[in-house]
Amino acid sequence: MGYGRLGHSGSAHPSQKDPATSLPEVQKKTKTKLILFTLAVLVVAAVCFGIFAGIRSIGSDRHEPKLRALNRNPSQEISRTCSKAQYTSLCIDTLLDFPGSSTADEQQLLHISFNATLQSFSKALYSSSKISYTQMPPRVRSAYDSCLELLDDSVDALSRALSSVVISSSGNDESHSDVMTWLSSAMTNHDTCTDGFEGVGNGEVKDQVVGAVKGLSEMVSNCLALFSGNVNDVNGVPVANRKLLGVEETEEFPSWLKRGDRELLGTPATAIQADITVSKDGNGTVKTIAEAIKKAPEQSSRRFVIYVKSGSYEEDNLKVGRKKTNLMFIGDGKGKTNRKDPNQNTGISIHACKLLATADLEASKGSFPTYLGRPWKLYARVVYMMSDMGDHINPRGWLEWNGPFALDTLYYGEYMNRGVGAGIGQRVMWPGYHVITSTVEASKFTVAQFISGSTWLPSTGVAFFSGLSE
């Protein structure tokens, strides 16, 4: 009976046929309607899911904020916090992607920024490690393995930074310095990773790894800016003007550098076929750098490469004679010191040293000018303090790397140096060059303040004095 009522009420023009004979047709129509309705519901659900998934996908993409489906407005706290960052849009997008960020205070937003950066590095490491069994040429394999190790080190450093950020924010200067160092190392590791793939050609491995780490350096930069909170770094050391993001950063080699040398400098150390390998553990050609120099040929017509493996080499008065031409020293590279970001707390401080010419250089110093340094990275920082400088030092003191690159963003300083080469009358007039006159400023580059050496050097047995003088 139920079926009969359904069939009768469902017909606008009741059939003259017996209801029993029209039952299959009614059932067929009803079933068709149910199927169509079900399909319609599924289509709507699929569209809704697609929109939701699209929003989440776009929202999680830190590289393409312009593609966002929703116009999310940051809170005043997020806007104020991200105003300190170099990459403001990325900072805002990163924070908005985390639930609850709209009501978070400044300290909580700092945690979110650190956490998001750590997660991004972890994802990059996971994504890159999935192709570890891919067949690769030796140079690509070397760059790939180094990159994985560097990413793993960065994950560890960022984990330490995240766990320490509460302590450091409460005013513990030692912990504060550690956080800045871990962040700085993560940024340097990222750059070393991508540098390793320079000159190896294009390919699936390079594309996947470089694509996986894209944008990570900018995220670390924002963490550094948010944590330091101002233009000065953790120790209050002044830095030069920030570079506008619209200005392209170039790190091309100088025009006088030959093509072959450029390729060597752009190749990972482990991928270069060295003529001599120095290794303290005996796994190389020789155990000391002095031995390697002695074995190098005189008046070489090509670059003679000496590869120094990682380790501590305590050798006095290493001399490269005038006849030892075309020598190139390379190392493992992980600990190289350069500054890409103004908030990195890295740099070089040369304090109470003697800068003297060897006998060979002394005899021909007029033909081979010697400089205190050249900027390789945008925020290079080097300071010479209370040191003796010989007359082989060029009166200009410093040399450009490539035209005006980094001259207004670097920090090169000199403080109370002595000797003929220490005269500052003819020094360069770059915006980033400083003649330090303040004891307070100079003290920021001492062992105690620059590397917090007083807290960890005593246990090593290394002799040192922590301040400007003994």
Residue at token pair 């103004």: 342
**What is the percent of the chain where pLDDT is above 70?**
71
Joined tokens for residue 151 = 């990413």
Clarify whether residues 86 and 52 are in a common domain. no
Q: How far is CA 146 from CA 13, 99, 115, 190, 352, in A?
A: 80, 35, 24, 11, 36
Question: Can you tell me the distance from the alpha carbon of 46 to that of 405, in angstroms, rounded to the nearest whole number?
Answer: 53
Within 10 angstroms of residue 270's Cβ, the number of other Cβ atoms is 19
Which pLDDT does position 241 carry in this prediction?
44
Question: pTM value?
Answer: 0.51
Mean pLDDT: which of 31-45, 68-82, 225-239, 419-433 is highest?
A: 419-433
More confident: 365 or 56: 365
**pLDDT tens-place string over residues 60-97:** 444 444 444 344 788 989 998 998 888 889 999 999 99
Clarify whether residues 378 and 455 are in a common domain. yes
pLDDT at 1 over 70: no
Instruction: Of 71-75, 205-209, 402-406, give the lowest mean pLDDT range.
Output: 71-75
Average pLDDT over residues 143-164: 90
Average pLDDT over residues 172-191: 82
Q: For 177, left (φ over 0), alpha (ψ -120 to 50), or beta?
A: alpha
pLDDT at 47 over 70: no
Residue at token pair 């540098």: 195
Joined tokens for residue 390 = 């010989």
Clarify whether residues 37 and 135 are in a common domain. no
pLDDT at 237 over 90: no
User: Coil, strand, or helix at residue 86?
Assistant: coil
Mean pLDDT for all residues in the chain: 76
Within 10 angstroms of residue 465's Cβ, the number of other Cβ atoms is 13
In a domain, 258, yes or no: no
Question: Can you tell me the distance from the alpha carbon of 127 to that of 144, in angstroms, rounded to the nearest whole number?
Answer: 12
Which pLDDT does position 341 carry in this prediction?
63
Question: H-type helices in 314-412, by residue range?
Answer: 359-363
In a domain, 318, yes or no: no
pLDDT at 437 over 90: yes
Question: Can you tell me the distance from the alpha carbon of 432 to that of 409, in angstroms, rounded to the nearest whole number?
Answer: 6
- Compute the Cα dihedral for 450, 451, 457, 463 and give only its sign: negative
Joined tokens for residue 89 = 């849009």
Clarify whether residues 152 and 36 are in a common domain. no
Instruction: Of 54-58, 76-80, 83-87, 191-195, give the lowest mean pLDDT range.
Output: 54-58
Question: Among 185, 206, 228, where does a domain finish?
Answer: 228
Which pLDDT does position 142 carry in this prediction?
87
pLDDT at 10 over 60: no
Residue at token pair 């940051």: 74
Clarify whether residues 173 and 48 are in a common domain. no
Clarify whether residues 74 and 41 are in a common domain. no
Give me the number of domains the chain comprises: 3
Question: Among 228, 260, 288, where does a domain finish?
Answer: 228
**What is the percent of the chain where pLDDT is above 90?**
29
Residue at token pair 């009420």: 9
pLDDT at 35 over 60: no
Question: Among 180, 211, 228, where does a domain finish?
Answer: 228
Spatial CB neighbours of 134, under 8 Å, sequence gap ≥ 6: 204, 205
In a domain, 291, yes or no: no
Clarify whether residues 149 and 47 are in a common domain. no
Mean pLDDT: which of 14-28, 240-254, 425-439 is highest?
A: 425-439
Average pLDDT over residues 456-469: 83
Is residue 21 very low, low, confident or very high in pLDDT (cuts 50, 70, 90)?
very low
| DSSP of 162-218 | HHHHHHHHTT-HHHHHHHHHHHHHHHHHHHHHHHHTTTS---HHHHHHHHHHTTHHH
Domain housing 391: 347-470
User: Coil, strand, or helix at residue 349?
Assistant: strand
In a domain, 180, yes or no: yes
Instruction: Of 170-184, 202-216, 345-359, 372-386, give the lowest mean pLDDT range.
Output: 170-184
CB 401 within 8 A of CB 374: yes
CATH number at residue 382: 2.160.20.10
Rounded to whole angstroms, the maximal C-alpha distance in the chain is: 123
Clarify whether residues 138 and 213 are in a common domain. yes
In a domain, 20, yes or no: no
Clarify whether residues 52 and 75 are in a common domain. no
In a domain, 460, yes or no: yes
More confident: 174 or 126: 126
Instruction: Give, for 154, the enclosing helix (H) or strand (E).
Output: helix 138-169
Clarify whether residues 73 and 217 are in a common domain. yes
Joined tokens for residue 373 = 């340094």
More confident: 441 or 241: 441
Which pLDDT does position 276 carry in this prediction?
92
In a domain, 253, yes or no: no
CB 98 within 8 A of CB 120: no
Question: Can you tell me the distance from the alpha carbon of 418 to that of 389, in angstroms, rounded to the nearest whole number?
Answer: 6
Clarify whether residues 39 and 153 are in a common domain. no
Clarify whether residues 125 and 35 are in a common domain. no
Residue at token pair 């670097």: 410
Instruction: Of 112-121, 291-300, 362-371, give the lowest mean pLDDT range.
Output: 362-371
| DSSP of 230-266 | SSS-TT-----PPPPTTSPP--PPPTTS-HHHHHHHT
